[in-house]
Structure 1
Amino acid sequence: MTIRLLQNVCSVALAATVFLCGNPFAMAQETIDFSSQVRPILSDRCFHCHGPDADNQESDFRADSQEGLLEAVEPGDLDSSELHARIHSDDPGSLMPPPDSNRSLSDEEKRILDLWIEQGAPYEGHWAFEVPQKPELPTIDADDVKDLGWDEQRVSQWSKNPIDRFVAARLIKEGLSPSPPADHATLVRRAAMTLTGLLPDRDLQSKKYSDAVEALLDSDAYAERQALRWLDAARYADTDGYQNDNHRENWPWRDWVIKAFRDNMPFDQFTIEQIAGDMLPEATVSQRLASAFNRNHRQNGEGGALAEEFRVENVIDRVETTSTVFLGLTFGCARCHDHKYDPLSQREFFQMYAYFNNIGEKGIGRGLNANPTMKAISPLLEIDPKFVQAVEKAESELAKAKPEFEKRLKAWTQQTTELISRIDAASSKVIDSDEVSDSDELEDSDREAFESLDKKLVELLRNKKRNNGQNQQVRYHFTKIDPQQNGLQTALNVAKKELKDRGGVRATVMVMRERSGDPQPAYLLNRGQYNEPVKSDPLPRTVPEVLLAEEAEPPGDRLEFAKWLVSKSNPLTARVIVNRIWQDHFGIGLVKTSADFGVQGEAPSHPELLDCLAVEFIDSGWDVKAMHRLIVTSETYRQDSKQTPQLKSKDPQNRLLARGPRYRADGFAIRDVALQAAGLLSDQVGGPAVKPYQPSGLWEVVAANKGTRYVADKGENLYRRSMYSYWKRAVNPPRQTIFDAGGREICNVEVRRTNTPLQALVLMNDPTFVESARALAQQVIHSEQGDDKQKVAELYRRAIAKDASDSTIGVLTESVSYFREHYAAKPEEAKALLATGESKRDKQIDATEHAALAAVAHVILNLDEFLTIE
């Protein structure tokens, strides 16, 4: 090498060293990730005025696309970038965001944007709109993790399940180690609670963990728990909503959902049948019933309600529900204008609307389920189809005979009315059968015909302006005396009785059914108003462009749309569903905002893991149970949930997954587990809604219809699982409301959790929990003949499915002595406590002893250990 060349090399090296040392952003700076660091800033601070909503942009500058950003960014050159100049400007007229926008950037956000520009302003499309690809599985190198406390056994255990490999890679990157495995009792209880919403029984606790998981997945309780989550998403309720909030019967659809989860119906089929089961070739009764998913919306029956206005609201509800439940998008924001943040236009909203706009519905219904409807029994019933077919055949025969019956009814009504008129004309006063016999003006045939008539019927027929109810009475009477109609009606009544005797209660369910003829046109509605359609521009059916594969044809009808939802080309559905399954087990999804996968939603904590699970879900044939099994058998799920000082400081919300899940159970599970521990919980599955204990008078306060009154059921119905409780939209079950349940007026896929004094008051005073404590104490008194310490240990074990610590048993044992003394001195209080609830108390048990142990059982039902999944 020549001296001059060597000098040049040294000069370059020295200059580089001076540059690197003098540039605060160039030495040891992190690499900025556009999706997780830059786009959230742009979305929060810039998209409102410079985003997808073209009608409300403040200028031509667009911050939501690479092309738009490059107009203000010179990659690698801060000084030439207008974006840099604007965010640092001292001039209020040039500063962006404007000072009065309440969207000012923090110093850290400015630093990130500057560093991004310096690093070349790399751009990525929004992760959720890209079709998921299965990433390469990370490997755990034992040599790399020795310093983190990983031994060979841990490396081996965390290398088997793909979930663990992605989680381990993130933990290693963050310099963390996973928590040790939870003990067997804790783990089996955790799995039972997240899979079934109930405690494990002792037989289950004695099984090895993998066998326990299989038993849980095969149980009816699993199907009920998964169905409960779906009811929230599907806005299922037992009333119509709005002011009148009339009763509706769509519980057979709820039972269809339970059966689908019990049978492990593939999720793609589960989706297609609910979105368009009525359109499947030769659709079965079950498939037509499934389509009730999109008729679970509210139904207005108020006087003066405009049919077209609420028909449009129903269709809009279907678009919003479908886009939230399956796509994880806030598409409803595009009803009135283009979406402010996501690439979803108002035009695209009403193009998707077109798929759901061709149903033969009126939009209003008063007191009855609104057409289109079908008759259905619970799909859970194992009834010989011939009994259902007999009813359907009898109904069909009646329907065929109806035109001729109407003719005969009309003729008979006319003849009989004329007969009564002749008789009335023959007498100057209201006559009865005795008076007729004295009239010489009547023919014998007239006298005989008149004598055969019921007096009430005579009065009805005298009135030529009869209302609907009176006409029905006339119709009923004629049916009894018309041989043909009476025979058909009798055959139907016999068939119905045969079905009912086998438990076959039929209900009229609102379902989807396409109108005949050409599809009903759809238009963009100006400002989302039903009465402002832009009729000059009929809209073709299609899905948002950002979700449609390049050069792909849009789905042609609702059935094709349903199939597209679960196609491999759709980037969202698989991700959205596996994220909610993860949420069911960990209390929070990999994407925390489970209802929003758009740019305003939170980025996934483990994006590659999410994509791995989504692809695995599709490749498994959309096997829901397999996904649950994969999660609950992972080492990630099986960790101890204790929070160390290090984790509390570095990862308080457990987003890095360095410990097992720990969170408060929902109100449904808390009530069900209390009843289960007490031996009161009914194991009946499906059927009409039931009415457990509820404070009297709540319905009357808001009821528009006089006489609306809540009357609690008796017997077993008081102790059914909470998912079967009657759900009135205007007055939700108060216990569930206090424990953060959604109202089900609209779909709900996110989970809220609070810890309020009201919840403590419910646990202490609600008759369900007081009665459960009493019944639990009675069970233990019968089964445990030991001392107070042994009885307390058994109470705890039955209520929490784990053994109590020695210190806990000591405190609770002392409490027994305290309450024994208290109730011995105040027998009336003991009597009142033991009288709570309908279940029978064994009066052979000493009242003081029973009350003392019931009080301690009640304490246990209020413990954090009882209320928490951990």
Structure 2
Amino acid sequence: MSFTRFLLASQIHAKVTELQTFARAFASICYNEFPACHPPVPPIAVVLLSMRSSLFFFDFSRWTAVCLFGLACSLGLSAHADESQISFNRDIRPILSENCYFCHGPDENNQQSGLRLDSREAAIEFAAIIPEDVEGSELVARIDHDDPDAVMPPPASHKTLTEEQKQLLKDWIAEGAIYEDHWSFTPIRRPDIPNLSEWDETVVSDPVHPVDAFIRARLLAKGHDLSGPARADRLLRRMHMDLVGLPPTWKETQDFFQRSQTSQASSDDRAALIDQKLDELFANPHHGERRAAFWLDLVRFADTVGYHGDQNQHIFPYRDWVIEAFQNNMPFDEFTIKQLAGDLLPNPKTDDLIASGFNRLNMMTREGGAQPGEYLSKYATDRVRTVGMAWMGLTTGCAECHDHKFDPFTAKDFYSLGAFFADIEQWGVYSDYGYTPNPDLKGYNNNFPFPPEIEVTSQALLREQTQAKQELTELARSQHEALPDDQKTAANQWLANVHDWLEQNADGWQSIETTNVPSADKKQRAWKLDASSTSPGSLSPQSIQVSLPTKPNQTPLAVEVRFYIEELETVPADKSAENQEDEKKLKRTTVAVSLARANRWMPSFSNTVAQQNVASRWTVPATDADGHAAKQRPHQFMIDQSKHADEPMQAVFELSAPLQLRDGQSLIAEIKGLPADIEATFEASPLIRLRPFDPTELEAIQVCDSVSQPNALLSWMMSNPKQTKDAGAKNHWRDRYLACREGRTWTMVTQATDPIEMRVLPRGNWQDETGEVVQPATPKFLGQYGIDSDKNADANHSDSKRLTRLDLARWIVHRDNPLTARVVANRLWKQFFGVGLTMAVDDLGTQGEPPSHPELLDYLAIELIESGWDLRHVTRLILTSQTYQQDSRVRPELSEIDPENRLLGYHPPRRLEAEIIRDNALAVSGLLNLEIGGPSVKPYQPGGYYSNLQFPNRTYRSTTGDNQYRRGIYMHWQRTFLHPMLANFDAPSREDCVAIRANANTPQQALTLLNDPTFIEAASELAWSMNEQSDSDENRLRAMIRRSLQREATSEEIERLSVFLDQQRELFLADEALSVELTSVGQSAARHGKSLTHPERAEWAAWTATARIVLNLHETITRY
């Protein structure tokens, strides 16, 4: 190196050192000035100004620069100063992996000159390394070479070794060049817990928490120790945010603080208090939601398919299953097996099939022109990447095109893992196009689901249905009571007629006789309905038409109609191209309802009431892509008798709205495309079908007590719109009720079929079929734990029994697998400290960072295994440690030796995740809806955000009612158009498996907190509640800080907020329009602002502006 280059490098190092010193001093000053908001985030302008002035006035001398450069080098070497022997895994492997393995690593197709440095034997064979002979080792000669054609790494690689790295390599060779297996591929063994007295004789002999022993050992070796315990209120908020994702109430904070004060004298009492609080938080019904959020990133859970049109998919029951699994502390091995192979378990339960939906979370397409083979390849490789990262912590995707450059994972290993999933029933393109024929999907369009699916019961929908029924009943009761006497007499007479009708039709339905009439359409046969008797009709392979006439001048009748179809039997005659008899499938059948005179389609079907287990064979979409009633077109469904030949084929279709039939109108029902004999019964009812009718209510429905009978009362309300005062509320709750579909919903599942052929794809090219055919097999370098060696044979052993996804799942969670337990333990640690014991939680391979505390990682991993894969056990082990409970204030004395706080001398603060930031604001405001599970919801979103989302075109409609305020984990996850609030706070699109979320700091985040309608509405509601609590500004401000930050406000904070509040009062009193605009954001605003005077609204607006400031504080969105 020339002296000029050396001096330049020295100057750069000196500037960096000076800036680091300045930053530490600046951080210390900020902390002393603003202890309540520690660690501070100073205005960026101040930081930049300070940096500029510092650099401008700093003067260098040559000798100062040289000394500072030497100091920088010595600081860099300090990490090894206390180590008696160089470790290959810790010190040498990272150097070789980063600079050498690309050309001299495990990838046979990319090895240069045949030299491999990842193998000691190969390196010695080529004399690149001669143990204990530094001068004779070719590796040393090359790294010190001056010739650019001979130096290693070569200049073209743009990699260089530092002098420190070169010296490490030389010292390692001098010590014998001892190689070690990569740490994460070695068996997990329980390490000895360190004896801290070896480092500090003054350490008390009391038993030390095992986690603290490992952490303190490294700190004591550096002459430091853990920080003191965190303040009680801060620790409580930390635990709440980590285990529930919601802040504690002020009452909970006060109680915990008082109890902690009384237990300070005894460490046992404090430990008991923490244990009790952990028990409460583990039992909290929202604990599962908090833990599930991390997993949903890994499995790339989303509500849409991702590719092309990014259509909606039915999958929310899988999310609810994950939440319930964490809530019930399902063992992780069981959790794994059910997701990978729930459908292959003996006698799988419905929950097992729901869990198998994991295999369907890859992105899918139904784009016209897409190549099925290409997308089947995409689906397969995505699953291998996801399983590799989520469970094994490896970058398996690097072997899709060639052998892994750095890890001993070959392309054959990659495609052999993919072969485990070759039995999943799927389609490359989920439509039936002429150039991509899929007869099984004939008639499928962009509004159709992505099979295979099953119909399941959702407890969340059942709860929602019950609430909606109660709200509707209360509306009907209040409206009935408010009627004038003459109208109430008519209403009671209507209810009496219903009573008489029920005596003749105890089940709540009246069968209707059908009569064949000619039809102009040769493909239709019309049936005429009257209300006299029952006469099932036998359908020909043609379609039918039925009508229900009304009498002249008859009072409009609100009637529900259902079609009861049974005894399906395909017939050999009258075959059609769409419906082949030999396949025993009716692939394109439609049901539609219209009014004869109106010539338009009537409301859609709200429910397909399954009978005799036919749910998996009937698909009647009730809504379009936006969740609104699908009108102006018939509804298609498929009847598949081939898979259930021995079961009765029955189903009931019910309309989503009662029909208002007026003078002379007829109801028209058409069933088209049926090459089959079908028995069909048509029935009508004046009762609104808000739930299955209970015959025991017959005697209870009496005129004198009609108000208490919800079915009859609701029917009266829905049949008499002129007498309905609050039509908006009625329609809102009715729509919510009908959307629940009696608690039934569809969800994608895994169904096994004959496996397709899998082969190695050279360079990942799906069109290249020259690669070797492979069978399911686990990577041999990791061991064959619990795998039958005969079944794990190569493809050319035709007599070998094929491994299944169940074998793979059991191999992944086998106690001898060195990866899974380490991966899970490392991610658990990251959830509570912001960074894993190895920072690269997505890569435990050779390119990942070695653990900062490898023995602690193995200790946690073995605890996980030996506890029966009990995640809660390991969580408790971490959270009961002093390491977790210590203070979070930065310690300047540790900054030089541990700038990233990897030694954990203090608890690392971190910003909350996007969903939790939103949850926190809603919780603080009192708006948060804590219902668990159910369909995803759509928060407020900027207009036009979906304008470029097509196939089909969609208009975003935010969710109404209290579901608008559901937790963030239930937000609609649109992969290609992720909600802006989620995107601004670094939530992933979930197009791929994500183990580490980005943690950016951008202006958009502050703008989101200030201007997103959700946060404005939260601030507005918080402000309103403050005005109701107290009569003085100071008391209200203190209450706002307590509720938002779970601590007492300082005098300075009250003073500054008071000044701001007065300024806002003047502003809004002077501008009425501005105050109306601010206090009208969000649907909850209508509850408060109907009768406010201008001064009252201006006061509300001023407090809303103040609340926006509090909710935008760094401390509000940070967990300390």
Letter paired with 1:41: I
Cα contact 2:544–2:671 (8 A) shared by 1? no
- Taking the aligned partners of 1:665 and 1:605, their CA distance within structure 2 comes to 24
What aligned pairs does 1:86-235 form with structure 2 within 5 A after superposition?
86-141=142-197, 144=200, 146=202, 152=204, 156=206, 159-205=207-253, 206-207=255-256, 208-235=273-300
Q: Shift in Å at residue 650 of structure 1?
A: 2.5
Matched, 1:317 2:371: no
Cα contact 2:778–2:784 (8 A) shared by 1? no
Q: Shift in Å at residue 723 of structure 1?
A: 1.1
Which one of the candidate residues 641, 646, 653 is aligned to 2:888? 641
- Taking the aligned partners of 2:843 and 2:1060, their CA distance within structure 1 comes to 48
* Equivalent position of 1:16 in the other structure: none
Between the two proteins, the alignment pairs up a number of residues equal to 775
Q: Shift in Å at residue 27 of structure 1?
A: 11
Q: Shift in Å at residue 586 of structure 1?
A: 0.8
* Equivalent position of 1:666 in the other structure: 913
Letter paired with 1:213: L
Letter paired with 1:50: H
* Equivalent position of 1:486 in the other structure: 681
Matched, 1:533 2:533: no
- Taking the aligned partners of 1:218 and 1:560, their CA distance within structure 2 comes to 34
Q: Shift in Å at residue 649 of structure 1?
A: 2.6
Q: Shift in Å at residue 807 of structure 1?
A: 2.0
Matched, 1:867 2:1084: no
* Equivalent position of 1:723 in the other structure: 969
Matched, 1:507 2:749: no
Matched, 1:852 2:1116: no
Cα contact 1:792–1:812 (8 A) shared by 2? yes
Letter paired with 2:1065: R
* Equivalent position of 1:295 in the other structure: 360
Which one of the candidate residues 375, 380, 393 is aligned to 2:455? 375
Matched, 1:62 2:116: yes
Which one of the candidate residues 477, 495, 515 is aligned to 2:670? 477
Cα contact 1:161–1:634 (8 A) shared by 2? yes
Q: Shift in Å at residue 706 of structure 1?
A: 5.3
- Taking the aligned partners of 1:636 and 1:65, their CA distance within structure 2 comes to 38
Cα contact 2:524–2:544 (8 A) shared by 1? no
**Any stretches of 5+ residues in structure 1 without a counterpart?**
1-23, 384-411, 425-432, 434-448, 456-463
- Taking the aligned partners of 1:550 and 1:328, their CA distance within structure 2 comes to 18
Letter paired with 1:601: G
CA RMSD in angstroms, aligned pairs only: 3.5
- Taking the aligned partners of 1:284 and 1:613, their CA distance within structure 2 comes to 32
Cα contact 1:238–1:249 (8 A) shared by 2? yes
Change (3 A) 1:453 1:211: closer
Cα contact 1:661–1:869 (8 A) shared by 2? no
Letter paired with 2:308: Q
Letter paired with 1:527: R
Matched, 1:38 2:38: no
Cα contact 1:420–1:450 (8 A) shared by 2? no
Cα contact 2:244–2:289 (8 A) shared by 1? yes
**TM-score, structure 1 length as denominator?**
0.83
Deviations 1:718-738 (A, max 9, x none): 111111111111100110101
**TM-score, structure 2 length as denominator?**
0.65
- Taking the aligned partners of 1:185 and 1:371, their CA distance within structure 2 comes to 50
Matched, 1:85 2:141: yes
- Taking the aligned partners of 1:138 and 1:860, their CA distance within structure 2 comes to 45
- Taking the aligned partners of 1:87 and 1:567, their CA distance within structure 2 comes to 43
Q: Shift in Å at residue 750 of structure 1?
A: 0.8
Change (3 A) 1:57 1:190: same
Q: Shift in Å at residue 124 of structure 1?
A: 0.4
Q: Which moved more, 1:843-852 or 1:813-822?
A: 843-852
Change (3 A) 1:575 1:489: farther
Q: Per the alignment, in what secondary structure is the counterpart of residue 542 of structure 1?
A: coil
Q: Shift in Å at residue 794 of structure 1?
A: 0.6
Cα contact 1:252–1:687 (8 A) shared by 2? yes
What aligned pairs does 1:348-367 form with structure 2 within 5 A after superposition?
348-366=413-431, 367=446
Matched, 1:789 2:1034: yes
* Equivalent position of 1:407 in the other structure: none
- Taking the aligned partners of 2:825 and 2:1112, their CA distance within structure 1 comes to 33
* Equivalent position of 1:600 in the other structure: 847
- Taking the aligned partners of 2:300 and 2:327, their CA distance within structure 1 comes to 21
Change (3 A) 1:470 1:377: closer
* Equivalent position of 1:408 in the other structure: none
- Taking the aligned partners of 1:806 and 1:847, their CA distance within structure 2 comes to 28
- Taking the aligned partners of 2:190 and 2:964, their CA distance within structure 1 comes to 48
Deviations 1:757-816 (A, max 9, x none): 01011111111111111111111111223x211111110111111222222222222222
- Taking the aligned partners of 2:814 and 2:226, their CA distance within structure 1 comes to 36
- Taking the aligned partners of 1:580 and 1:452, their CA distance within structure 2 comes to 61
Q: Shift in Å at residue 360 of structure 1?
A: 2.0
What aligned pairs does 1:649-664 form with structure 2 within 5 A after superposition?
649-664=896-911
Q: Per the alignment, in what secondary structure is the counterpart of residue 761 of structure 1?
A: helix
Q: Per the alignment, in what secondary structure is the counterpart of residue 374 of structure 1?
A: strand
Q: Which moved more, 1:49-58 or 1:210-219?
A: 210-219
Letter paired with 2:764: G
- Structure with more helix by fraction: 1
- Taking the aligned partners of 1:666 and 1:548, their CA distance within structure 2 comes to 37
* Equivalent position of 1:820 in the other structure: 1065
Cα contact 2:1010–2:1112 (8 A) shared by 1? yes
- Taking the aligned partners of 2:827 and 2:543, their CA distance within structure 1 comes to 70
Cα contact 1:259–1:380 (8 A) shared by 2? no
- Taking the aligned partners of 1:509 and 1:579, their CA distance within structure 2 comes to 32
* Equivalent position of 2:660 in the other structure: none
Q: Per the alignment, in what secondary structure is the counterpart of residue 86 of structure 2?
A: coil
Cα contact 1:770–1:858 (8 A) shared by 2? yes
- Taking the aligned partners of 1:789 and 1:666, their CA distance within structure 2 comes to 32
Q: Per the alignment, in what secondary structure is the counterpart of residue 699 of structure 1?
A: coil
Q: Per the alignment, in what secondary structure is the counterpart of residue 746 of structure 2?
A: strand
What aligned pairs does 1:413-562 form with structure 2 within 5 A after superposition?
477-478=670-671, 484-486=679-681, 504-516=742-754, 519-534=755-770, 537-549=772-784, 553=788, 556-562=803-809
Matched, 1:808 2:873: no
Q: Shift in Å at residue 839 of structure 1?
A: 0.6
- Taking the aligned partners of 1:274 and 1:488, their CA distance within structure 2 comes to 43
* Equivalent position of 1:278 in the other structure: 343
- Taking the aligned partners of 2:454 and 2:524, their CA distance within structure 1 comes to 46
Q: Per the alignment, in what secondary structure is the counterpart of residue 112 of structure 2?
A: coil
Q: Per the alignment, in what secondary structure is the counterpart of residue 819 of structure 1?
A: helix
- Taking the aligned partners of 1:27 and 1:659, their CA distance within structure 2 comes to 23
- Taking the aligned partners of 2:1063 and 2:198, their CA distance within structure 1 comes to 56
Change (3 A) 1:29 1:561: closer
Cα contact 1:278–1:287 (8 A) shared by 2? yes
- Taking the aligned partners of 2:807 and 2:989, their CA distance within structure 1 comes to 31
What aligned pairs does 1:248-287 form with structure 2 within 5 A after superposition?
248-287=313-352
Q: Which moved more, 1:275-284 or 1:747-756?
A: 747-756
Deviations 1:555-596 (A, max 9, x none): 621101101111111111111111111111111111111111
Q: Shift in Å at residue 29 of structure 1?
A: 8.3
Cα contact 1:238–1:250 (8 A) shared by 2? yes
Letter paired with 1:827: E
- Taking the aligned partners of 1:99 and 1:466, their CA distance within structure 2 comes to 65
- Taking the aligned partners of 1:286 and 1:45, their CA distance within structure 2 comes to 48
- Taking the aligned partners of 1:293 and 1:489, their CA distance within structure 2 comes to 42
* Equivalent position of 1:772 in the other structure: 1018
Q: Shift in Å at residue 93 of structure 1?
A: 2.3
Q: Per the alignment, in what secondary structure is the counterpart of residue 743 of structure 2?
A: coil
